[in-house]
Amino acid sequence: MGSYYNAVKVNIGSIEVVENILNDLEPKPSKVLLLTRGGDFSKSQAMHILSKCLGGFEVEKLELEISNPDVEDLYSYFQQVKAFNYQCIVGIGGGSVLDLAKSLAALKGMEIDSIADLRTVIEEKVYKTNQNIIPWVGIPTTSGTGSEVTCWATIWDRANSVKLSIDSESIYANTAIIDPSLTRSLPTRLTASTALDALCHATESYWSKNSNEISRVYALEAIKRIVLNIEKVVNQPNDITVRKEIALGSLYAGLAFSNTRTTASHSISYPLTLELGIDHGIAASLTLAKVMELNFEAITEKDKLLHAFGVKNCQEVQTFIEHIHRISGFSSRLKDYNANLEIIDVIASNAFTKGRMDNNPIAFTKHDVTNILMSIY
Ligand SMILES: [Fe+2]
């Protein structure tokens, strides 16, 4: 039951196809904004190939030196590139780069003169009426966020301790290029946390109130691939076959939750990240098994979910996730992230993100969330 829609063309292969993708856009762009992550990326083989492919275009490069951009960062980047009248954006990087590419595509040509203005544009979704939205191409260099196939971008608002979202079906990428070789040099912790993020996307999508027969097929396929390969990718990071399995798992998870959104585990993860600085994928995975246990009776075809995880019950999912945390250098206990009872109470109060918590198959109270948090304290 239900309907499925995703506007992104997906190209699984090598980044070299970017040249043809840009040449095929109508109208063909002459000015391309290239967003990359900072650090040593400019010296990478991927950047070398990309520079060659973009040789026929006028390119302005913007290097993102931060992760999890907030509304102030977005405003600063928006101002920085405004004068270069780009007609297309290519974003190559992790979730932060792709979310920024998507946001700048959504805001293109808008009159925004202050951070307060931008906050209003985002909160009141004024960008939905923007007539100048431009196409963007997403090239993920991590396997996890799924941002290349979803139509929303996370923009933090640290000044107000909330997560904002730019969200519209008009801002799907024109094309996503999935090139697993780009993930080969990812450090262990990032490999594990992004893969766990994708595992949560797929699992939460599966039991989401908005799941449908198509999204559930993608979700189960994602879970199987990630569960089978996550330990291998941590132990054999250079094995391109394993990297490809995780990249496909992440892509399928993205295709699943692009239509369903996430649920309670993601909703609780946002204050865990804001208050305790826990990496996004770890923060979401900390509560996944407990949320599964509480949701269990409300899950459609729950036997298929357990089968995809290769387990008999939710406790075994908890054991599996704790094992992945351990081998990749993370703790599964909030105490180890400097939590205390006062912070737990703040996190429980701020765990009710609109569009996420209300998408969970059963309703949680603050008391339920506190119990979930105390189970991993
Ligand atoms: Fe996520």
Q: How far is the CA of 38 from the centre of ligand 1 (A)?
A: 22
**84 or 162, higher pLDDT:** 84
**67 or 188, higher pLDDT:** 188
Q: Is the pLDDT of residue 40 over 90?
A: no
Q: How far is the CA of 156 from the centre of ligand 1 (A)?
A: 14
- pLDDT of 258 reads 97
Q: How far is the CA of 76 from the centre of ligand 1 (A)?
A: 25
Sole residue written with tokens 């309670």: 264
Q: How far is the CA of 147 from the centre of ligand 1 (A)?
A: 9
Residue 165: CA count within 13 A, CB half-sphere: 13
Q: Which two tokens stand for residue 1?
A: 């039951």
Please give the average per-residue pLDDT across 159-167, as a whole number.
88
Q: How far is the CA of 279 from the centre of ligand 1 (A)?
A: 10
Which residues have C-beta within 8 Å of that of residue 142, sequence separation ≥ 6? 93, 94, 95, 183, 186, 190, 191, 194
Q: Which residues surround ligand 1, an ion (CB under 5 A)?
A: 197
Sole residue written with tokens 């808008």: 110
**Residue 347: count of CB within 10 angstroms of its CB:** 24
pLDDT tens digits, residue range 124-148? 999 999 999 999 999 999 999 999 9
3-state secondary structure (DSSP) of residue 331: coil
Q: How far is the CA of 152 from the centre of ligand 1 (A)?
A: 12
Q: Which two tokens stand for residue 167?
A: 């969200």
**pLDDT band at residue 310, thresholds of 50, 70 and 90?**
very high
Q: How far is the CA of 202 from the centre of ligand 1 (A)?
A: 10
> What residue ranges do the domains of the chain occupy?
9-181, 186-375
3-state secondary structure (DSSP) of residue 115: helix
Please give the average per-residue pLDDT across 340-357, as a whole number.
95
Q: Is the pLDDT of residue 1 over 70?
A: no
**pTM of the entire structure?**
0.94
Q: How far is the CA of 40 from the centre of ligand 1 (A)?
A: 25
**pLDDT band at residue 66, thresholds of 50, 70 and 90?**
confident
CATH of domain 9-181: 3.40.50.1970
Q: How far is the CA of 262 from the centre of ligand 1 (A)?
A: 8
Q: How far is the CA of 319 from the centre of ligand 1 (A)?
A: 21
Q: How far is the CA of 266 from the centre of ligand 1 (A)?
A: 7
**pLDDT band at residue 317, thresholds of 50, 70 and 90?**
very high
- pLDDT of 163 reads 83
Pinpoint the alpha helices (H) of the chain: 18-24, 45-53, 71-81, 95-107, 115-123, 188-207, 213-235, 240-257, 264-276, 280-286, 288-295, 302-309, 314-327, 341-349, 366-375
Question: Rounded CA gap, 192 and 284, in Å?
Answer: 12
Q: How far is the CA of 252 from the centre of ligand 1 (A)?
A: 14
Q: How far is the CA of 265 from the centre of ligand 1 (A)?
A: 9
Q: Which two tokens stand for residue 282?
A: 């770890």
Q: Cβ(361)–Cβ(209) under 8 Å? A: yes
- pLDDT of 68 reads 85
Q: How far is the CA of 341 from the centre of ligand 1 (A)?
A: 25
Q: Is the pLDDT of residue 115 over 90?
A: yes
pLDDT tens digits, residue range 217-248? 999 999 999 999 999 999 999 999 999 999 99
Q: Is the pLDDT of residue 54 over 90?
A: yes
- pLDDT of 247 reads 97
Give the chain's mean pLDDT. 95
Report strand pairing: 88-93 vs 136-140. parallel
Question: Rounded CA gap, 204 and 362, in Å?
Answer: 12
Q: Is the pLDDT of residue 198 over 70?
A: yes
CATH of domain 186-375: 1.20.1090.10
Q: How far is the CA of 143 from the centre of ligand 1 (A)?
A: 11
Give, for 131, the enclosing helix (H) or strand (E): none
Query: For residue 191, which of 289, 285, 328 has the smallest C-alpha distance?
Result: 328
In this prediction, what percent of the chain has a pLDDT beyond 70? Answer: 100
Say how many residues make up the chain.
377
Q: How far is the CA of 197 from the centre of ligand 1 (A)?
A: 5
Same fold, 9-181 and 186-375: no
